[in-house]
Amino acid sequence: MQALETVAERITVVMPVFNEGDTIRSTLLEASRKIPRIYDNIVFAVSEDGSTDNTKDALVSMASEMPNLQLHLGPRRKGYPGAAKDAILGVDGKTDYILFMDSDGQYDPTDFGLLWREIKKSDVDMVVGKRMNRVETPLRVFLSTGLRILEKIMFRTKQRDITSAFRLMRVGPAQSIAREVKYSKYNFWLEFTAIASLCGYRMQEVPVVYRAREGTSRVYSGSKILEAAVQELTTIFRVWRDYSLREIRRETGCQATATLRSQ
Ligand SMILES: Nc1nc2c(ncn2[C@@H]2O[C@H](COP(=O)(O)OP(=O)(O)OP(=O)(O)O)[C@@H](O)[C@H]2O)c(=O)[nH]1
Ligand SMILES: [Mg+2]
């Protein structure tokens, strides 16, 4: 097994949670067992809002067992994009890196080691876990492939998996990009990756395990998938319009990037 790194840099593991009462305990226990074996300066920041099952109770009981668990509980459901954005912007000021990970148990926390080694080796702003063995309906594969190709043409994204929710990011870039995400109603990461690409952030991909989900998607129920695809298509065009207009007016579309780059 790889040696444990004892370093001063802090990683906050950000996890959005909605109605995961049946699995959140095992997901958090697995992450808190596996990630600190690779890296020990870890805090878990779990953002829950509006769950109608026993998720809140499960989280409160876990907080008494895990001293490095920070809970953010909210009364009303924000929707995935709002929850992801607030969670990234809400990490505490001691954080150096954000490991974003959905809390549905689909990612294997052991793969954090691959992301960590890659960010240190290639000195990029973000390393994205490219999901292997995705099991999805043909309709979903068709729609997500279409959106990926469009995003590649419009924003010159180089990544294959532009919507992965397993990413290790330097905190400055992650928050600058997240602040700009404003259109997406379903898929936060499509818009996030488009902005990151437009603003010239450096991204790298590494293949990661992707497991089957227990229970059904909280974001895309069967009837919502087409509506979501149309909404995300609109989002892509709005982002493109915003940034090309800024370029025409010679405004800096990515002030945050420029500031970071000059430091
Ligand atoms: N805080 C918060 N978390 C949410 C919300 N909606 C979804 N989540 C969480 O976001 C993660 C992603 O949701 P999923 O239902 O797995 O959606 P998905 O991964 O896009 O779809 P699948 O591939 O079908 O799993 C899960 O960990 C959910 O618990 C929300 O409104 N608020
Ligand atoms: Mg999922």
Q: Is 104 in the pocket of ligand 1 (CB under 6 A)?
A: yes
pLDDT band at 134 (very low <50, low <70, confident <90, very high): confident
Task: Kindly identify the ligand whose nearest atom is closest to the C-alpha of 80.
Answer: 1
Q: Is 82 in the pocket of ligand 1 (CB under 6 A)?
A: no
**pLDDT tens column, 21-31:** 999 999 999 99
> Does the pLDDT of residue 5 top 90, yes or no?
no
pLDDT of residue 94: 93
b vs e for 180-213, b when ≥16 Cβ sit within 10 Å of the residue's Cβ?
bbebbbbbbbbbbbbbbbbbebebbbbebebeee
Report the topology of domain 11-262: Spore Coat Polysaccharide Biosynthesis Protein SpsA; Chain A (3.90.550)
Ligand 2 mean position, distance from CA 212 (Å): 8
Ligand 2 mean position, distance from CA 169 (Å): 20
> Does the pLDDT of residue 259 top 80, yes or no?
no
Q: Which residues pair with 75 in a beta bridge?
A: none
To test the pocket of ligand 1, the residue of 49, 104, 163, 184 to mutate (highest count of ligand atoms within 8 Å of its CB) is 104
**pLDDT tens column, 135-183:** 888 888 888 899 999 999 999 998 899 999 999 999 999 999 999 999 9
Domain extent listing, the chain = 11-262
Task: Kindly identify the ligand whose nearest atom is closest to the C-alpha of 50.
Answer: 1
Element spanning 207, H or E: strand 203-208
d(CA 252, CA 263): 17
Lowest mean pLDDT among 59-63, 65-69, 149-153, 211-215: 211-215
pTM score of the predicted model: 0.92
Atom of ligand 1 nearest to the CA of 19: 29
Q: Which residues have their alpha-adjacent CB atom under 5 A from ion ligand 2?
A: 104, 106
pLDDT band at 68 (very low <50, low <70, confident <90, very high): very high
CA angle 145, 106, 198 (to 5 degrees): 45
